Amino acid sequence: MRKKIGSALVVGAGISGIRSALDLAELGYQVKLIDRAPNLGGTLSQLDYQFPTDHCGMCKMLPLVERDSSSQYCLRKGLFHENIEIMLSTELVGMEGEPGKYQVTLRQNLSMVDPERCIGCGECSAVCPVEVPDEFNAGLSKRKAVYLPVPHNIPNHYVVDMEACTMCGECEKICPTGAIDFRWEARRQFRILVVDDELIVRDSLRDWLTEDGFAVDTAESGPDALEKMTKKAYHLMLLDIKMPEMDGVEVLKRSKELRPELPVVMMTAYATVETAVEAMKIGALEYLMKPFDPETLVPLVVKLYENLERADERELEVGAVILAAGFGSYDPAEGSNTYGYREYPNVVTSIEFERLISGTGPTDGKLLRPSDGKEIGKVAWLQCVGSRDIQADADYCSSICCMFSIKEALLAKERTDGQVDAAIYYMDMRTFGKNFQRYREKAEKEYNVRFQRSRVHSVEPEGANGNLRISYTDVDGTGREEIVDLVVLAAGQRPPTGSESLAEMTGVELNPWGFCQLQPFSLSLTEQEGVLASGSFSGLRDISESVIQASSASLRASSLIHAKGGGLAEAAEPQAVFRDVTRELPETMVALCSCGDNLTEAAKLEEVEEAVVDLDSVSQVQRIERICTQEGWDQLEEALRDSKANRLLIGACMPYVYARKLRELGKKIGLSSALMEVVDISTPALPGRNSNPEQVGRDVWAAVAMGVGKLKGMDPSNLPSTSVIQKALVVGGGIGGMSSALAIAEHGFEVFLVEKAEELGGNLRVLHRTLEGDSPQELLERTVARVEKHPNIQVYTKSQVLHSRGRVGRFRSTIEKEDGMGESLEHGVTVLATGGKEASTESYGYGQSEGIVTQHQLEEKLHSGAVNPGELGVVTMIQCVDSREEPRNYCSRVCCSSALKNGLYLKEQNPELDVYILYRDIMAYGFLETYYTKARQAGVIFIQYEVSDKPRVEVDNGRIAVGVTDPILGREVLIESDLLVLSTGIVPNNQEKIAGIFEVETDQDGFFQEAEYKWRPVDFMKEGIFTCGIAHSPRSVTETIAMSEAAAQRALRILNSERVMAGSTVAEVRHSLCSLCEKCIAACPYGARWRDEDEEKILVDELACQGCGSCAAVCPNSASVLRGYLDQQMFSVIDAALEEIF
């Protein structure tokens, strides 16, 4: 693949980190992706299902073009991309330098288990005597000290949890491949000097540490220690502070002169803690608190040892750093109201419930109570635990819990055939995203999930059988109680551990709650240039928004590297030239790994080899002792170079590991890696699986013969590539379109920006303030100026697209310009940012009085002075006008913020003014919650109404009377208002027309339909066309900008080079066999096929085709085929598999 000058570091390998890393890798940058956990995937590795599909779908993030450069299997199981180096158990420990040129220091904790050798057999875990709570199951089950971090990784290596490990050495003895190495020898050579004036301390420390394998000397005083230090080299000194003659601090000072490199750890009693802290300032590494006990002290010393000796520190230079550090979780047990968490086993958090219902969880996915394994009949979800709670220092909303809980309730219902009783106790049900409201109604109406508006105040045990009693107050004030089997606490989000030191190191700022502070109007720019935030580190978002934000971050990183001179200029790497083998007969070299002596002992390998040589396309068989080692690999390379073979089949363990290695090998010797395969021959020979050598031999032979059969029929011709017109068309000149255009233009590509209005700006023109207090007009001015000045952007105002044809990489669109003339534009990608508008309404007396206005109109009137807050007495606002009920059954997301913004402004201008906001659920998600608090504090009065009992408006002689039922007091209140403001929400511009022109879909509300809500939020199903902003769904200015950057990012991945390759597995049509029945067109889920009327042919768009094979399956004539999976290949594979039987 293309290599670009420039590299980036992504900290955190959760969803956002993976998305950012893949984005940059797809653009050709070299990416380091690190995570401190021993596994990829972050929180998502624990979650099996995501709404609205209630499936996973993570794999949809994998590259869609140039697919061969990355893994193409389940992303939860693992990832590789040739431009990404993944470093797990790794932390960022230092960062220096300047934007575009940062020196970062990474520290990787080396595992005791060699991942190259571990085959995941689990023998080690079986003998390990230590049991600790399993993080993967959120502590609901136990694991050993040597364990698999997640059960689903491929390949899956064991790791040793050094904090829990007792170093008993049992696993080391039993490991069949010698992968575990405690390196006792290294430990014995690690000399520790213990300095203390008390004999008992010296002796016990020496005994404990010697027992754990260290070499220990003791010194009874400062001078004694200094003398010993001159005679022998030590690796660590444990130094007491309070000693007669010479105190510890003095010894430390002198030792720093004598042996500056010697790490010193102070030992202190409570009284001298301050001295110890002082000592750290003059060079002590750490301090340990007395009194000691071996249980805690020894692991601490071991940890120090690990950090000093075993950790691998690496320094490297990167252009930009993306922080995708994720989030932590609130611990309900630490709150002022614990809801019985940790006290009663049947009180769990959302993540624990997620594990309870997971097939890989502690109960194998059966809904059983943790306390006694009884089937669960009734579950209560309690919202806002540790969120929206000032007493828990959380004046913010965690944004995701409402949907999270609805999803869990639905899963519980589905799992039990609707038998379980599920109730959600909430204050505001925040269904602010696309399709969230309908999802909630589905839960409520179709699945009978109960939604109870109330905050539960206590959870208490009901009897001794594990049942729980929850008590709450109904809206009307009636106290109620319910007995449930399980209580699920929607525990709120917290900043990730270590966020403070990360912020200090990288220079980013944190907000009052410890999340990363972003710049105004951006979801990725931090205070530090070149350091970007991605995902929940800057606060609380769901997958879809994390993915958008991650792409925004990678776009910004790429822009920066580009601006600093790295850029997209391709590095001079010679394009690998592959030998043309199309005219050669298939000749396969088979290399079998004997895995030391394991395979030769388990099977008669000679016999297998003889049988393999007899296969007609096999030219030679090579046995290699350990192909996983460098020596083994060199041996293979040499053998292949010397042979004339044009196919390579490797028999070894863990075929997935070899994808990257094969590509490198292919480049070196000039043979396409599409002609190489790896088959698993080690599983049949696993210890304890089969003791009959003949059967093992037969199994190995079958695996090899199947591989040979597949390779034999492999089409050796070159893979198709597609030429790309490196220009973009952006439709819509609002803030979304302009941001997208700028982002693409900044990377050096030409952009056509088409806007139907007279000037650029769209809806931004009517916004004068944001809730956060930033100025949209400044943003508008700045952006328009940049767009108009940019040499790569050609702006067409008062113009519209009439027609568009073509496919990804090669579009031709016709626009009608201001003067009525047409112009034809050629472009490789399209961004549709056609925006939306404030809905008009006929409800609540709109139009009957000048005093009834919409939120936009109010903002405009306040700005122009037509409305003077000083002259008003009472202003009433009604939320959700015509929204969140059919036919417009969605939340417009911005209206609550608008109401809060205008309400606060009115109160600020005239504190005597009464403001009433009549709402259904206040959608103050994320940090907007604090403005909700502020609005209440400013005296705005909020009255909740139900959709079945809407406010009533009467207009009489210009006087506006609003009647509404106050649910708390249960009575009607009448508000005589000077001004009634209606929050009518957002509707799309007439998008059906534009969707028709570009052959993309719209959803039932008329917004653009994305390819996949969560994982591909800015893509259309039709490759090469992207969407952003409120044309997709209602969102704020900042969110629109982030989304337009994400769209630009997705576009750049195609514009990036002149020719783009698909993958090696693509569909083809044999036109001579094709009867033009078009079944394949209907079957293709990617819209990659069409019928060319001129040529009377079915054509395939190689870039859009993802090689799923649906077309090949439906084709009645075998005219549609899949490269790499031709019929004759599959038949020979089946023959080989069945040959033993016949």
Query: Whose Cβ is closer to another protein: residue 734's or residue 845's?
Result: 845
Query: Whose Cβ is closer to another protein: residue 673's or residue 965's?
Result: 965
Using CB under 8 A, pick the residue from 508, 665, 679, 975 that binds another protein: 975
C-alpha distances out from residue 773 to 521, 528, 542, 769, 905, Å: 11, 21, 25, 6, 10
How crowded is the C-beta side of 105, counted as CA atoms within 13 Å? 10
Question: What are the start-end ranges of the E strands in 427-563?
Answer: 450-453, 458-461, 468-473, 479-484, 486-491, 493-494, 531-533
Using CB under 8 A, pick the residue from 969, 1113, 1134, 1138 that binds another protein: 969
Cβ atoms of 623 and 632 closer than 8 Å: no
Q: Is 477 in the site for another protein (CB under 8 A)?
A: yes
How far apart are the C-alpha atoms of 923 and 432, rounded to whole Å?
6
Least CB distance to another protein at residue 680 (A) = 55
Angle of CA points 609, 613, 619, to nearest 5°: 130
**Pairing label, strands 101-109, 90-98:** antiparallel
How far apart are the C-alpha atoms of 429 and 890, rounded to whole Å?
13
The region of 178-186, 299-307, 742-750, 971-979 touching another protein under the rule CB under 8 A is: 971-979
Least CB distance to another protein at residue 462 (A) = 17
Least CB distance to another protein at residue 471 (A) = 6
Query: Whose Cβ is closer to another protein: residue 940's or residue 1011's?
Result: 940
Q: Is 381 in the site for another protein (CB under 8 A)?
A: no
Q: Is 39 in the site for another protein (CB under 8 A)?
A: no
How far apart are the C-alpha atoms of 252 and 1042, rounded to whole Å?
52
The region of 44-52, 385-393, 608-616, 1088-1096 touching another protein under the rule CB under 8 A is: 385-393
Query: Whose Cβ is closer to another protein: residue 330's or residue 537's?
Result: 330
Q: Is 1039 in the site for another protein (CB under 8 A)?
A: no
Contact mark string toward another protein, 491..530, x via CB under 8 A: ----------------------------------------
Q: Is 452 in the site for another protein (CB under 8 A)?
A: no
Q: Is 334 in the site for another protein (CB under 8 A)?
A: no
How far apart are the C-alpha atoms of 300 and 530, rounded to whole Å?
36
Q: Is 966 in the site for another protein (CB under 8 A)?
A: yes
Q: Is 389 in the site for another protein (CB under 8 A)?
A: yes
Using CB under 8 A, pick the residue from 191, 228, 768, 936 that binds another protein: 936
Count of H-run helices and E-run strands, the chain: 29, 55
3-state secondary structure 975-1007: EEECEEEECCCEEECCHHHHHHHHCCCECCCCC
**Sequence-distant (≥ 6) Cβ neighbours of residue 314 within 8 angstroms:** 105, 106, 107, 108
Provide the greatest CA pair distance for the chain: 103
Q: Is 436 in the site for another protein (CB under 8 A)?
A: no
The region of 364-372, 402-410, 844-852, 972-980 touching another protein under the rule CB under 8 A is: 972-980
Least CB distance to another protein at residue 1087 (A) = 48
Cβ atoms of 1055 and 1034 closer than 8 Å: no
Residue 868: Cβ-neighbour burial (10 angstroms; 0-12, 13-18, 19+): exposed
Angle of CA points 624, 629, 632, to nearest 5°: 30
How far apart are the C-alpha atoms of 952 and 468, rounded to whole Å?
42
Query: Whose Cβ is closer to another protein: residue 90's or residue 977's?
Result: 977
Q: Is 955 in the site for another protein (CB under 8 A)?
A: no
Using CB under 8 A, pick the residue from 384, 681, 728, 960 that binds another protein: 384
Cβ atoms of 557 and 550 closer than 8 Å: no
Q: Is 849 in the site for another protein (CB under 8 A)?
A: no
- Which residue, among 61, 71, 72, has the nearest Cα to 22 in the 3D structure? 61
**Pairing label, strands 874-878, 1089-1092:** unpaired
Question: What are the start-end ranges of the E strands in 220-310?
Answer: 236-240, 264-268, 286-289
Least CB distance to another protein at residue 455 (A) = 4
**Sequence-distant (≥ 6) Cβ neighbours of residue 250 within 8 angstroms:** 222
Using CB under 8 A, pick the residue from 188, 457, 803, 805 that binds another protein: 457
Q: Is 976 in the site for another protein (CB under 8 A)?
A: yes
- Which residue, among 640, 653, 663, has the nearest Cα to 593 in the 3D structure? 653
Query: Phi, psi at residue 708, to the nearest 5°?
Result: -60, -45
Q: Which two tokens stand for residue 575?
A: 């394009």
How far apart are the C-alpha atoms of 1020 and 1104, rounded to whole Å?
11
Sign of the torsion formed by the C-alpha atoms of 547, 552, 557 and 559: positive
Q: Is 874 in the site for another protein (CB under 8 A)?
A: yes
Q: Is 371 in the site for another protein (CB under 8 A)?
A: no
Cβ atoms of 506 and 517 closer than 8 Å: no
User: Which residues inside 891-930 make contact with another protein, applying CB under 8 A?
Assistant: 914, 916
Using CB under 8 A, pick the residue from 260, 373, 479, 791 that binds another protein: 479
Using CB under 8 A, pick the residue from 473, 692, 840, 843 that binds another protein: 473
Using CB under 8 A, pick the residue from 258, 475, 483, 1134 that binds another protein: 475
- Which residue, among 323, 795, 266, 375, has the nearest Cα to 556 in the 3D structure? 323
Element (H, E) at 548: helix 543-563
Query: Whose Cβ is closer to another protein: residue 929's or residue 1010's?
Result: 929
Q: Which two tokens stand for residue 155?
A: 């390949």
Query: Whose Cβ is closer to another protein: residue 388's or residue 807's?
Result: 388
Cβ atoms of 394 and 330 closer than 8 Å: yes
The region of 586-594, 883-891, 973-981, 1061-1069 touching another protein under the rule CB under 8 A is: 973-981
Residues in the interface with another protein (CB under 8 A) total 43
Q: Is 933 in the site for another protein (CB under 8 A)?
A: yes
Least CB distance to another protein at residue 430 (A) = 13
* Amino acid of residue 182: F
Q: Is 336 in the site for another protein (CB under 8 A)?
A: yes
Q: Is 454 in the site for another protein (CB under 8 A)?
A: yes
Size (the chain), residues: 1142
Least CB distance to another protein at residue 336 (A) = 6
Q: Is 873 in the site for another protein (CB under 8 A)?
A: yes
- Which residue, among 620, 592, 780, 783, has the nearest Cα to 697 in the 3D structure? 592
Using CB under 8 A, pick the residue from 51, 214, 942, 1013 that binds another protein: 942
Query: Whose Cβ is closer to another protein: residue 316's or residue 941's?
Result: 941
Q: Is 456 in the site for another protein (CB under 8 A)?
A: yes
Q: Is 339 in the site for another protein (CB under 8 A)?
A: no
Using CB under 8 A, pick the residue from 178, 223, 773, 939 that binds another protein: 939
Query: Whose Cβ is closer to another protein: residue 194's or residue 384's?
Result: 384
Q: Can you tell me which residue has the tokens 């030191």?
A: 501
Q: Is 337 in the site for another protein (CB under 8 A)?
A: yes
Query: Whose Cβ is closer to another protein: residue 669's or residue 938's?
Result: 938
Least CB distance to another protein at residue 490 (A) = 13
Query: Whose Cβ is closer to another protein: residue 389's or residue 1019's?
Result: 389
Binding region for another protein (CB under 8 A): 336-337, 384, 388-392, 427, 454-458, 471-473, 475, 477, 479, 873-874, 914, 916, 932-933, 936-939, 941-942, 944, 963, 966, 968-969, 971-976
